[in-house]
Amino acid sequence: MGLSKRRLRVSVLGAGAWGTALAAAAAPYHDVCLWARDTDLIQSMSVHHCNARYLPEMALPTSIRFTADLAQAIAHGCPSQASNAPALIILGTPVIGLREMCMQLVQHLDRSSLTVPHTTASLVWTCKGLDPHSGQLPHEIVAEVFGDSGQHELGVLSGPSFAKEVAQGLPVALTIASHHEALRATVREVFHHDPIRIYGTTDIIGVEVGGALKNIMAIACGIADGLALGNNARAALITRGLAEMTRFGVRIGADATTFSGLTGLGDLVLTATGELSRNRQVGLALGKGQSLPEVLASGLTAEGVRCAQAVRSRAKKLEVDMPITDSVCQVLFNHVPVKQAVSQLLAREAKSE
């Protein structure tokens, strides 16, 4: 692959596993700053060049700048008067913290425009899920905070990816979804090099729906595997789960073809079958007889748990049939035994595919 000949400035806001992995992937080619609000974590990474909390035993490039100063990190990822080269800010925060982060970003960008007039930032978020309180997808939260001025280039980076494998330098393919061609080009310039491939699309809704709902389907597949229901059952859940994701996505404006790509089928297969999938691990534990409080008390958390109720609530308002999501919610929140939930799912009337 052709590598970028320019060293761009990239700021990653959020030093969880995925934010750290993306920073590590970009650092050999670009000037990367990684921000976290936890000063102890920043100090540890600065000294040891390892994120012992979220990516233990993974050595990080020594060129990464670490900071707990949000204003400094944002300034690093914004265009400057000294260079015409694009810069990039990556929001590596979970969906539940996205609104607060965007509000802080707006305040800092407004102040920056006083010294660099008409500052236009390129912003990419990576979180997957629906906000558990508002039921909004990430792009809806971003639009609500930033407004419709169109001043900034916005998009979402997603795809079938485990942070640990990306940090190890193993091959991965991701999708950047944005209505801004320049932003899609910038993300390619930052990340499209061995061993990462970046594909572009304008279907933000489809990419986000796939990233959110695949976690719920992975919990369902984990439950089936925990009950030892076999490979046939897992294949059926993946296939019908994909249909469920597509049905929901198309209803709110997604392109149906997106769900046959990386952020639909690709991410679903990875999360439903991969050993590193936390959502699958939650399902496995439930299938083997643990209750949700017991699973959470063990320290195992997953996006699909927080997202499931929000998806079910929004689907009901839209009158979208979501049988797998309903069954997962019955197990998670209504104390329905997993075997009973599976029996109810299998007892549904036969219908055309």
The three-class DSSP label of residue 16 is coil
Rounded to whole angstroms, the Cα distance separating 148 from 322 reads 32
| Residue type at 296 in one-letter notation | L
Cα–Cα distances in angstroms (integers) from residue 22 to residues 49, 72, 250, 263, 313, in the given order: 15, 19, 30, 17, 33
Note whether 51 and 41 are within 8 A (CB): yes
CA angle 222, 225, 231 (to 5 degrees): 120
214 is catalytic: yes
Look-up of token digits 């309180």: 133
Dihedral sign, CA of 197, 278, 97, 305? positive
Instruction: Please tell me the distance from the alpha carbon of residue 69 to that of residue 65, in angstroms, as a whole number.
Output: 11
Quote the CA–CA distance of 222 and 281 in Å, as a whole number. 6
Class of domain 212-346: mainly alpha
Separation CA 268–CA 215 (nearest Å): 7
pLDDT tens, the chain, 353 aa long: 445 578 999 999 999 999 999 999 999 999 999 999 999 999 999 999 999 999 998 999 999 999 999 999 999 999 875 666 789 999 999 999 999 999 999 998 877 654 455 567 899 999 999 999 999 999 999 999 998 767 899 999 999 999 999 999 999 999 999 999 999 999 999 999 989 999 999 999 999 999 999 999 999 999 999 999 999 999 999 999 999 999 999 999 999 999 999 999 999 999 999 999 999 999 999 999 999 999 999 988 889 999 999 999 999 999 999 999 999 999 999 999 999 999 999 888 777 77
DSSP H helices in 227-353: 231-251, 267-273, 278-287, 292-297, 303-318, 323-333, 338-346
Confidence at residue 112, expressed as pLDDT on a 0 to 100 scale: 62
What residues form DSSP beta bridges with 13?
Answer: 35, 91
- How many CB atoms sit inside 10 A of residue 140's CB? 17
pLDDT digits (tens, 9 = 90+) for 51-93: 999 999 899 999 999 999 999 999 999 987 566 678 999 999 9
pLDDT of the residue at 115:
47
Residue ranges covered by each domain of the chain: 9-202, 212-346
pLDDT number for residue 83 = 66
Q: What is the pLDDT of residues 10-25, one digit of tens each?
A: 999 999 999 999 999 9
Amino acid 111: pLDDT: 73
pLDDT at residue 2, rounded to an integer: 47
Angle at 313 between CA 310 and CA 317, to 5 degrees: 135
At residue 213, the 3 state secondary structure works out as helix
pLDDT at 349 (0 to 100): 73
Q: What share of the chain is helix, strand, coil (3-state, %, to 5)?
A: 55, 15, 35
Residue 89 pairs in a beta bridge with 11, 123
- Does 212-346 match 9-202 at the fold level? no
The strands making up 172-178's β-sheet, listed across from edge to edge, are 65-67, 31-35, 9-13, 87-91, 122-125, 153-158, 172-178, 196-201
Cβ of 270: how many Cβ atoms within 10 Å? 21
pTM of model > 0.85: yes
CA distance 262 to 266: 4
Distance CA 257, CA 203 (A): 10
Catalytically annotated residue among 5, 164, 214, 339: 214
Q: What pLDDT score does 52 carry? A: 96
CATH superfamily assigned to domain 9-202: NAD(P)-binding Rossmann-like Domain (3.40.50.720)
Spell 235-257 as b/e; 16+ CB within 10 A means b.
ebbbebbbebbbbbbbebebbee
